[in-house]
Structure 1
Amino acid sequence: MRPRYLKGLLCGSLLLSLLPLWYLLLTTGDAPKRWQLSSQFPVGSAPRGVDFPSLFASFPPAPRCEPGQLLLILVTSAPGNSEPRQVIRSTWAAREGPAPPQWQAVFLVGQTADAGAAREIQREQQAFGDLLVGNYLDAYRNLTLKVMHGLKWAAERCRPRYVLKTDDDCFVNTAWLPAFLQEHNRVRAGLYAGSLFSREKRQVIREPSSKWYVSRQDYRPEEYPPYASGIGYLLSLDAAQRLLGAAERVRPIPVEDAYVGILAEEAGIRVQASARFAKHNVRWQVCNYRYLLVIHHLSPREQAAAKRSMLQARRACQDSLEVTRWK
């Protein structure tokens, strides 16, 4: 074989060998701040909603759920976040007492290009059965797809009376939330509640280097409608169904909680502001756990401490006035 042909063959082989690495960097890298969606949502296409059937993966199997239960908690997580998931299983999602709870926690994860991580996800699902794996690349700017997939699965397969969306760095007060919904909540239909952002924080970010960047092609207004922070928001089943109906015709954007607010406006649902959802983790006192329902940004050690405070509040704070309103 002639030397120049051999050299060309070696160069071609080298380029082919670099293609998988190039693809991985392109799809998982954080530098290109653009939609990392499936090909059915190309930038600049005609406006259309979420293609829900494409989000469902056939393997691993979806978690089991008891239809008609009081509350389903959807926890967004990343494939590599096995430690936060395990901490949640052993703290606020742990099943306590002899009576079966009326609620369930499920983790939402997407696909990963790491074969080892994918195998770990399969093993984790086999061991715990609480992972809902979607058919989309797990990336921050695909969080909208993750939540839409989770809501669709919950509304169609499980049909709980309420759905709470939260993140795996949040604490959910499972000692108070189910009882609050059962006994004190008076908004049984059209409920969308959480911690709202002020108007100045609802400006659409047009800077391409930001992870919250949204182009005018994806969303034309300069300000989002009122919406609840993604750290935790609660939906009644009928509200979730109405949001999903709107999502079939409203073009998605890569800012999950703002997109839910856009859907709520489209569906005629007014968001309920509630201080029970805390965006910041401060030195909460034990009796605060008779009021707070979701707390953001807890480390694994803080999750365990929060559970102790939650349980202690049952006994130590009985003389304090219990607030039974959303605010």
Structure 2
Amino acid sequence: MVRGWRYKVEAVILSLLGFTGFLFLLQTNDSPNVHPPKEASENTAWTPATATETLRPIAECRANASVANVSGFAELPDHIKNFLRYKHCRTFPLLLDVPDKCGPPNSSHLVFLLLAIKSSPGNYERREIIRKTWGEERTFEGVCIRRVFLSGVASNPRETRKLNRLLRLEAEEHRDVLQWGFQDSFFNLTLKQALFHAWMEARCPGVRFIFNGDDDVFANTDNIVRYLLSVPGAGDRHLFVGQLITNVGPIREKWSKYYVPEQVTASKSYPPYCGGGGLLMSGYTSHAIYKESLGLELFPIDDVYLGMCLQKAGLAPASHMGIRTVGVRVPSSKLEPFDPCYYKELLLVHRFVPYEMLVMWRDIHRPDLVCGKKTAVYGSL
């Protein structure tokens, strides 16, 4: 009888211990707070952190519940509802920083070209190939090229912890990852862009020129440097070039990735802008974009938002025929579209898969590569 009573007590104690452990596991999570959050207190300023620092809990930004009263809100897709709820949230913690990427801020003018490459956490293969090819940090034609990848936090909660660990490992090895504590998604690319310009102001205010693009482009950084060396002003004048897009407006079809309903903007037209796959800007223009972005609410399409900032600053984007964000058209279907001679004189082509980047980078640098008439498109605007 005594033995049976003892077994019951032990069973109760073990059950309590197991339940306590279960609660502890539920509350233990290395993942940072992400955008959009659920319930939270007011927003707080982000604090830069290196890859080796311990991440501290932060306050999250509360949803704007009043947008539910906007006409037609209930019928909108979930990602647009979330954008409207959280578009005022612009301050997020910098989880991974590279404070010395450009050296001391007062010496950052020694960096001629900063490659700022937007990359989702899971795109490890793309980042690795870029590091080995066109994104290599080096000195070319006597000027300094540096590289940073811009990332948020994985949108899939099951992957967040693993991918945060991956980015920390990359940061420790390469010192080239900027990660903020917001959800990495298509509609948050504008947030990523705005946070990058704020980082530039603090860390690299003197950089001469910035390449801003996606991790699935092929950029001929040799040609980019040669072109920028020919630009007057060495970065202290306005420059914003890419594949120019004009006379377009919001897409109102719900099936489109670029769907922007009237609840987001009633305007029927966008200002001129350059395709966000890849573009070049001067340090002067980057400062102007940062300044104007402080008083301009976020818009879900990042390249359009840059066009809005330029328009507000009284500046205009320009076309460069060497930047092809919609790919390269070959003269005939009988010709090989992957011929390096089509790419040797370009600045940028969108889009490439990782193995294509490696093959093309090696091919255009072959000493025995012989092409026809040289077009020198990198010297043309």
Question: What is the TM-score with the length of structure 1 in the denominator?
Answer: 0.78
RMSD of aligned alpha carbons: 3.2
- Which residue in 1 is equivalent to 2:271? 225
Q: RCO (CA 8 Å, sep 6+): is it higher in 1 or 2? A: 1
Q: Within 2, Cα distance between the matches of 1:320 and 1:314?
A: 15
Q: Within 1, Cα distance between the matches of 2:350 and 2:80?
A: 26
Deviations, residues 231-267 of structure 1 (Å, cap 9, x unaligned): 1111111111111111111111110001111111111
Q: Within 1, Cα distance between the matches of 2:151 and 2:311?
A: 27
Q: What SS does the corresponding residue of 1:73 show, helix, strand or coil?
A: strand
Q: Within 1, Cα distance between the matches of 2:172 and 2:84?
A: 27
One of 331, 351, 355 as aligned partner of 1:301: 355
- Which residue in 2 is equivalent to 1:164? 211
1:119 matched to 2:204? The reply is no
Q: Please, which moves more after superposition, 60-69 or 124-133?
A: 60-69
One of 340, 345, 354 as aligned partner of 1:286: 340
1:107 matched to 2:162? The reply is no
Q: CA deviation at 1:320?
A: 3.2
1:192 matched to 2:207? The reply is no
Are the counterparts in 1 of residues 296 and 309 from structure 2 also a CA contact under 8 Å?
A: yes
1:138 matched to 2:180? The reply is no
Q: What SS does the corresponding residue of 1:75 show, helix, strand or coil?
A: strand
- Which residue in 1 is equivalent to 2:197? 151
Structure (1 or 2) with the larger CA radius of gyration: 2
1:89 matched to 2:131? The reply is yes
Counting only pairs closer than 5 Å after superposition, residues 30-109 of structure 1 correspond to structure 2 as 32-34=78-80, 36=82, 41=87, 51=90, 54-57=91-94, 59-62=95-98, 64-66=100-102, 67-68=108-109, 69-95=111-137, 102-109=144-151
- Which residue in 1 is equivalent to 2:285? 239
- Which residue in 1 is equivalent to 2:376? 322
Q: CA deviation at 1:152?
A: 2.2
Are the counterparts in 2 of residues 35 and 141 from structure 1 also a CA contact under 8 Å?
A: no
1:275 matched to 2:321? The reply is yes
Unaligned ranges ≥5, structure 2: 1-25, 38-76, 103-107, 329-336
- Which residue in 2 is equivalent to 1:11? none
- Which residue in 2 is equivalent to 1:8? none
Are the counterparts in 2 of residues 194 and 234 from structure 1 also a CA contact under 8 Å?
A: yes
Q: Within 2, Cα distance between the matches of 1:171 and 1:36?
A: 32
Q: Within 2, Cα distance between the matches of 1:120 and 1:285?
A: 35
One of 354, 364, 369 as aligned partner of 1:310: 364
Q: How many residues align?
A: 292
Instruction: Please tell me the residue identity of whatever aligns with 2:92.
Output: L
Question: What is the TM-score with the length of structure 2 in the denominator?
Answer: 0.68
Q: Within 2, Cα distance between the matches of 1:294 and 1:196?
A: 14
Deviations, residues 36-55 of structure 1 (Å, cap 9, x unaligned): 4596535xxxxxxx73xx13
* Misfit runs of 4+, over 6 Å: 97-100
Q: What SS does the corresponding residue of 2:194 show, helix, strand or coil?
A: helix
Instruction: Please tell me the residue identity of whatever aligns with 2:360.
Output: A
Q: Please, which moves more after superposition, 278-287 or 147-156?
A: 278-287
